[in-house]
Every structure is written in C-alpha cells, then in structure tokens.
Chains A and B, each alone.
Chain A
Amino acid sequence: MTSISVKARPVTPDDARARRRRLIARTVVGVLLGLYGLVSVYPFLWMVSAAFKDQVEVVRGGHLIPQNPTFDTLVDTWNKLHFFDFFMNSLLVTVYTVVLTVVVYSAAGYAFAVLRFPGRGALQKLFVSLLFVPGVTVMLPIVMLENKLGILGTHFGLVLPFVNGGAPLSILLMTGAFLAVPSELRDSARVDGASELRIFTGVYLPLARPALITVALLTAIPTWNEYLLTRVSLNDPSTFTLPLGLQTLSSESVPHYNNLMAGALIVVIPVIVLFLSLQRYFVNGLVGAVKG
C-alpha cells in the first residue's frame, strides 16, 4: 500500500533521530513488558525460594536466594505429610473428570452439530444457561443430594459435579469443532453404510483432535486446582486432594512457611508443566471459548 511513495534518498539527520527515537520506544516497551512479567511470577519466585529454605532461614525472611539451599524441605513435605497420597487422589479425580467430560460432551457436541432431532435447539440453550448459576448457590444442594445418594465424601461424588460444571464450555467447544467438519465426509461415510457411532468415532473425532485437547486441558486445570467443593465434600484425610492437603498445613497453629510453600510448589508444578507443553491448544481454546 505504501510502496508507491517509497523512493531512494540519502540518510538525513532526521532519519537518524527517528531511528534513535524508535530504539528508545522499543526499550521502554521492553522494560514495561519485562516488569509485568516479573509481577506475574513474583509470588512463585518466593514460593520456590521458601521451598528450598530450612525452618530457621524461612522465619528470618531475608533473601530470595536461599543461603543454605536444601532439598530436605521438599522431601520432608512429600514424605511426612502424605503428599504422595494427596497427589494420587488429585490425579485420580482429574483423570476421571477429564475422561468423562471428553466422552460425554464430545458425543453431545456431535449430536448438536450434526444430527437433526426435535428439541435440539431448546436443549442446547438449556445447557448454556447453566453458565449463569453461581457456584455457591448450588453447592449446598449438591452436598445434600450426594448425602442422600450415599456418594458424599467419595471421589465419584466430586467427579459428577465437576463434569456437569464443565458442560456449557465443553459443549460449546465441541459443537463448534464438529460444525467445521465438511458435510461431504459424513455423506460419503453414510453412503458406505457406516453407522452413526462409526461416523462419530472414525471420521469426526480424529478431525476434532485439537478441540478435544483443548477441552481436556480446560477441564484438567481447574479440576486440579479445585478447592471449595472439595473442602465441603471430603472429610476423610485419606481421600484428600492436593489443595486440601495443603490446607491442613496452613491450619497448624504456627504455619511453617517453608513446608507450606514446598506443598504449594508440589501443587503448582504439574499444571505449569501441562500448560507449557500444550499451551498452543490452551490459548486458542480459551479464546474460542470466550468468543463463542
């Protein structure tokens, strides 16, 4: 567009000034962006720092870099405070939730995107309307219901509400992904006599892999971090997930911040690793979800 006006001309002092100004602007932008990056990770820096300090040093506060860095705090927290059990419980709850979410809502998304049946539009609206009900309003009825069903305090009793809570977002994402599949593929599969289940698993699911990964991630991360419903549902320490295990550390009369931060680090590291390894899907999915 601007190429019309481009002409070769000698470098003038004006150009040099402009270049210098651009350099300054770029430096200012870089510094500001860097500063906010520091703000973003600031609590983590101290989390890591405290997790490598011993009891004496953490009380003194002091430096970000531990003076006598030690692995003992992490090992201690992991061993003595049953963090392995909490970790396994968290993993179990998260895996169940993710698998159920992916299976149940990819099927529903397929129905909403591809199949015509009476009442489809109304059902779809019903699911999205769930987005507007505040969590605190349904927490108590969930606990009451699970108490009646005898699943309160079990991992299954956590998984069901987690899966249901993810319904609006997962259905939205899966429906969108399946709508993008060209209908010719489906028609030719039909002509070949493939069943609906066959078309779904053989044609649509493989093509929707990015959306599946997105749904899995957007389910896994909040489930891993979930605290409120877990706190009011679970009573038996042997069923505790990591966030609850962490909470027991802070409710001691004098919280040992080095153990508490080591525990926090154990909670946080898996999600950060998961996020970093799959962030491409994560970011796209998040944008798609909010836009849709």
Chain B
Amino acid sequence: MTTAVRTTVPDTAGGGAGDTSPRRRARRYEALSGYLFVAPAVVLFLVMGVYTVGYGFALSFATWNGFTPDWTWVGLDNYADLLWRDPIYAPRVRHAALNTLWVMVAVPTLTVAVSFPLAVLLNQAKRMQSVLRSVYFVPYVTTGIAVFFAWQYILQPDGAINTLLDGLGLGSLAQPQGWLGNPHTALPTIIVVTVWSSVPVSMLLYLTGLQGIDRSVLEAAQLDGAGWWRTNASVVWPLLRPITAIVVLLNLRESLQGFQTFLVMTNGGPGDHTNVLGLEAYRLAFLKNLSPTLGLSSALGWILFAVALILALINLRALRSKT
C-alpha cells in the first residue's frame, strides 16, 4: 500500500524523470489504477484466503488442542491415523466414508433423474412456465436451518409424511420411530431432502440448455419419425451432456464436502448411521474441547479437497473426450 501511494506522486505532478512519452505515462497510470482497484479484494484475499488456507495446511501436519502455545509436529501421522492406523479414528472415518459414498452416488444420480425430465416438461408448458419456475425455486432460496427444521417436523413419528402415507392407504410404509429415527431410513431420507434442495439449480441449468437448442435439430428428428420419447432420449439428452456434467460435478462436490443438513437434522445419528466425512471433520475441529484433534480435522479437510480435485479432473476429462 505504501509503495502505491508513493508512486502516485510523479503522476499527479505531471510526470517524473523517466516518463518522457505521454503514451508510457498513460500506461503507467492505467497499471497503477489497476492495482488500486484490486487492492481491497487482494488484501482481503491474502488474509482471509491465502493465510487461512496455508495455516490449515500446516496444521494438518501437527497435533494441537487449540490452547497450548505450541504445535507438535508429526509429519504425515495425521493422514496415516485417519486412513488406516488409529484404532479409534480410522474405523470411524471408514464408516463415514461409506455413508459419504452413498450420498455421492445417490444425490447426483437422483438429481439428474428428477431435474432433466422436469426441465423437459417445464420447457413445454409455455403458459405456466414463469410461475412454476418460481415455485420450484423456493427450496433453493430457503435452503438452510429453517427449512431443515420444517423437514424434521414433517418427518417425525406423528408428522405429516406418516399421516399422508396412512391417508393414502400406505400405512405399512409409515415409520413409527420417525423417518430420521430409524437407522435404516435416516440416510435415504436425508438424501431425498438433499436432492429436493439441489433440483432447482440443476433444473434451471437444463432449462437454459433446452432453450439454447436449435429448433431445426428437433424438427429434423421429428421428420425422421422420432416420437417424443425418442427425440428426448436420442437427441436432447446427448446434446445436453455438458450440462449433465456440470450438474453432476456440482452435486458431487456438495455431497463430498457438505454436511449442514446432516448436522441440523440428525447430527450424525441414530448411532452414527448418518455420519459423513464433512461432519466428522467438523466434530474433530469444534466438538472435542481439549483433545488434540485439530490437526486430524485439518488433515481430513485436505483429504476431502484432494478427492474433490481428482473428481473435477476426471469429470473434465470425461467431458472433453465426448465432445
């Protein structure tokens, strides 16, 4: 910052010793303004972004409880402990990884399975489109603790979902312990809630993609005798593959790293049946009080980052080879 202030002086003074041509002076003025315009963003980024990322990375190689003045450096021990060595944490991580894997398979698949047909149908309903689009968007806008409590409320033992099932004559499907209380239904239920909140953005992306398709392509398909199903399955779906790639990637990342729904709705229960890796990292960092698990939490966070990066690269590769 101080250097920036100093260099403004020759400019405002009408040119220093080195500035002979006005062209060069203009270029210097422009570069200087450039630095001044990005300065606030860069300063914030250096402190809140770069510093914290570096700090977290360093912490993942240390043992610390957050209170003692010094870190104990342990090298890669945290990573080894999490992945296979520690008799307490390694099995927990493995269990959480399995749950996370389920979420990572189910959420993107179901989101695509719901949002693609929904977008196709919505694209045909010209008259109601804008109203319906707003209605479909409400889950995205409100995603957060309030709406998760609403889900919790309707999923309780005598909540609306069980009542609805009874009313439809499907009482045998109702869950007397509540949908989040039964170890077998808790994870699938959270998956459904997650899909519910991720459909809006995916549907919107598909809808934009659909509106970008050249009409003549569809008419050509129809002239060739393709019906509605055939056109959508063999023409529209392949054309929108790049959008599917984005939708899958966004949802994979969120499934891998997100845990807010789990924290609010079940806190990992019943009996760790809905514990996921993000939640485990959160617990190791914030719920262990005086245990020296902060390094472990950091290491787990970086493992999540590495997996996300690998997935993004695979996704990019797959996308490129097909187009």
Contact = CB atoms under 8 A, between A and B. Distances in A.
B56 A141 contact: yes
Given A47-B150, A117-B34, A257-B153, A136 B278 contact: yes
A238 B122 CA distance: 46
B145 A227 contact: yes
Contacts of B302: 137
Range of interface residues on B (Cβ < 8 Å): 35 or more
Nearest to A135: B257
A160 B142 contact: no
A115 interface: yes
Interface stretch (B41-49, B76-84, B97-105, B183-191): B41-49
Given A260-B149, A261-B150, A40 B138 contact: yes
B41 A107 contact: yes
A41 B147 CA distance: 10
A235 interface: no
Contacts of B145: 225, 227, 243, 246-247, 267
Interface string A242-271: 110011001000000100110111011001
B283 to A, nearest CB: 10
B14 to A, nearest CB: 14
Interface in B4-43: 27, 29-35, 37-38, 40-42
Interface in B264-295: 264, 278, 281-282, 285-286, 294
Contacts, number: 249
B41 A136 contact: no
A272 B142 contact: yes
B35 A117 contact: yes
B144 interface: yes
Given A1-B219, A196-B30, A225-B144, A261 B149 contact: yes
B138 A142 contact: no
B181 interface: no
Contact of A104 (B44, B53, B301): B44
A142 B305 contact: no
B51 A145 contact: yes
Nearest to A39: B196
Contacts of B31: 115-118
Interface string A3-34: 00000000000000000000001000110110
The CB with the most chain A CB atoms within 10 A, among B30, B160, B204, B216, is that of: B160
A134 interface: yes
A225 B142 contact: yes
A2 B147 CA distance: 49
Nearest to B222: A2
A266 to B, nearest CB: 8
B56 A138 contact: yes
A144 B41 contact: no
B41 A167 contact: yes
A121 interface: no
A137 B135 contact: no
B266 to A, nearest CB: 13
Interface string B195-210: 0100011001100100
Interface in B201-236: 201, 204-205, 208, 216, 219, 228
A46 B153 contact: yes
A271 B142 contact: yes
Nearest to B294: A140
A234 to B, nearest CB: 13
A261 B52 contact: no
Contacts of A246: 145-146, 149
B201 A2 contact: no
A264 B146 contact: yes
A261 B153 contact: yes
A127 B264 CA distance: 31
Contacts of B250: 290
B232 to A, nearest CB: 13
A111 B34 contact: yes
A66 B191 CA distance: 30
B158 interface: yes
Interface stretch (A71-79, A91-99, A279-287): A279-287
B45 A267 contact: no
Contacts of B200: 40
Contact of A133 (B118, B259, B294, B305): B305
A115 B30 contact: yes
B226 to A, nearest CB: 16
A42 B154 contact: yes
Contacts of A1: 216, 219
B7 to A, nearest CB: 12
A242 B122 CA distance: 35
Contact of A40 (B29, B124, B139): B139
Contacts of B153: 43, 46-47, 50, 257, 260-261
Given A264-B150, A283-B204, A138 B52 contact: yes
27 contacts: A40-B137, A41-B135, A43-B153, A47-B153, A107-B37, A107-B38, A108-B40, A108-B42, A116-B27, A116-B30, A117-B34, A134-B304, A137-B302, A139-B285, A145-B48, A160-B48, A164-B45, A200-B37, A227-B145, A228-B263, A232-B286, A246-B149, A261-B149, A267-B144, A272-B142, A279-B134, A290-B246
- Which 6 pairs from chain A and chain B are nearest by CB? A225-B144, A137-B301, A117-B34, A111-B37, A115-B34, A141-B52
